[in-house]
Amino acid sequence: MEHKPGSENIVLQVNHLHKLFPISRGIVGSLARRPKRFVHAVDGVSFCMAKGEILGLVGESGSGKSTAALTILGLLEPTEGEVLFNNQSVPELVHSRQRLQLRRQMQIIFQDPYEALNPRQTVFDTIAEPLEVHRLAASQADKAERVMVALGTAGLKPPETFLERYPQELSGGQRQRLVIAAALVLNPQLLVADEPVSMLDVSIRADILNLLRQLRDEHGITILYITHDLATAAHFTDRLAVMYLGRIVEIGPTATVLHDPQHPYTQALLSVIPVPNPRKRRKRVILKGETPNPIDLPSGCRFHPRCPVVFDQCRHVEPTLASVSPGHQVACLRS
């Protein structure tokens, strides 16, 4: 799954992306000329996505996965590095006349379908609004037609029974489908799904994930799936990228990463995922402590203070992603 930059197939290319947030020093700090400090939310992330691919960006809270997503979408300005969408720079597009077009092609679904919807807008208005903003409907009839198609594709069937309803009349799963329909109506190429099922009951999560996969299969939509949940990512993605403290520590085809994890962090993370089978209780590698804050990053490998197989060199040398097998890259001095 090695993708060559510049190839026709590449939808998204992220190169050495950094996003730093300055920390307020306060008046005393500024007067005393204390050095500026930064939260290194995203600290050198590179990857690319082929058309119609589902990539899982997996990490614990504070790993920078959501910041990475917002920067990729052009909702945050990168501190350093580039984001290319169809070979065009996203930060530049955002400031150009093509901004609206970019927004149409990249859509995001957020975690909380209760917060993402306007409670005073009917289902019809919720989906029609993006069409109006982007002036995509040729006529009222065309608008209605597009809304119905989007509802049907998102699995809200029969669509006409939903049009006049309000979000509070929908269940959690139906709300998330509505959010997806509002993103779909614009025919985006790239869909970023930031924890799209973590607020939903387990019994209906599979439906939403299967719907997203169906969008990929039938409409060729490229999906960046952002989650802390390796188990759903295992079922749903083609490739996995594991993030730790602002950086990708391992990336590769999902099956390879799951069966042959090379980074000690990935190995630990996989070992602690509860498996719904009491006969398969495994030896868990439980890391001590929690992810350190991304302000004062550890020297050398940023994982070394918690690494169960740390050796001397790890404290001084920062590993970079290197190939261990086709398409499988790991940032660890041991591999």
Partner 1 sequence: MFLLDVRNLSVDYMTDDGTALHAVDDVSFTLEKGRSLGMVGESGCGKTTAMLGVLRLLPAEGRIVRGDVLFEGTDLFALSENEMRAYRWKHLSLVFQGAMNALNPVRRVGDQIAEAIRLHESGINIKARVRDLLQLVGITPDMARQYPHQYSGGMRQRAMIAMALACSPEVLIADEPTTALDVMVQAQILELLQNLQREFGLSIVLVTHDLGVVAEICDDVLVMYGGKVAEYGTVDVIYNDPQHPYTQRLLQAFPDVDNPAITLTSIAGYPPPLDALPPGCRFEPRCTCASEVCATKSPRLIQIAPGHFVACHKLRSTPYGA
- Judged by CB under 8 A, how many residues of this single chain contact partner 1? 41
Q: Which part of the chain contacts partner 1 (CB under 8 A), choosing from 76-84, 135-143, 206-214, 325-333? A: 206-214
Q: Which part of the chain contacts partner 1 (CB under 8 A), choosing from 90-98, 111-119, 140-148, 280-288? A: 280-288
Asked if 249 is part of the footprint of partner 1 (rule: CB under 8 A), the reply reads: no
Asked if 161 is part of the footprint of partner 1 (rule: CB under 8 A), the reply reads: no
Query: Which of 254, 256, 266, 329 forms a contact with partner 1 (CB under 8 A)?
Result: 254
Closest CA to 287 of 316, 312, 263: 263
Asked if 112 is part of the footprint of partner 1 (rule: CB under 8 A), the reply reads: no
Please give the DSSP secondary-structure letter assigned to residue 303: T
Query: Which of 132, 169, 201, 260 forms a contact with partner 1 (CB under 8 A)?
Result: 201
| 175 contact partners, CB below 8 Å, separation of at least 6 | 113, 114, 116, 117, 167
DSSP letter for each residue of 14-31: EEEEEEEEEEP-HHHHHH
Asked if 100 is part of the footprint of partner 1 (rule: CB under 8 A), the reply reads: no
Asked if 165 is part of the footprint of partner 1 (rule: CB under 8 A), the reply reads: no
Q: Which is nearer to partner 1, 151 or 268 (CB)?
A: 268
294: phi then psi, degrees, rounded to nearest 5: -85, 25
CA atoms of 60 and 37, how far apart (whole Å) = 23
Closest CA to 43 of 310, 295, 291: 295
Minimum distance of partner 1 from residue 312's CB (angstroms) = 25
| Sheet (strand 222-227) strand order | 106-109, 190-194, 222-227, 54-58, 239-244, 247-253, 328-330, 322-325
Q: Could you list the residues that contact partner 1 (CB under 8 A)? A: 60-61, 171, 173, 201-207, 209-210, 228-232, 234-235, 254-255, 258, 268-270, 272-281, 284, 286-287, 290-291
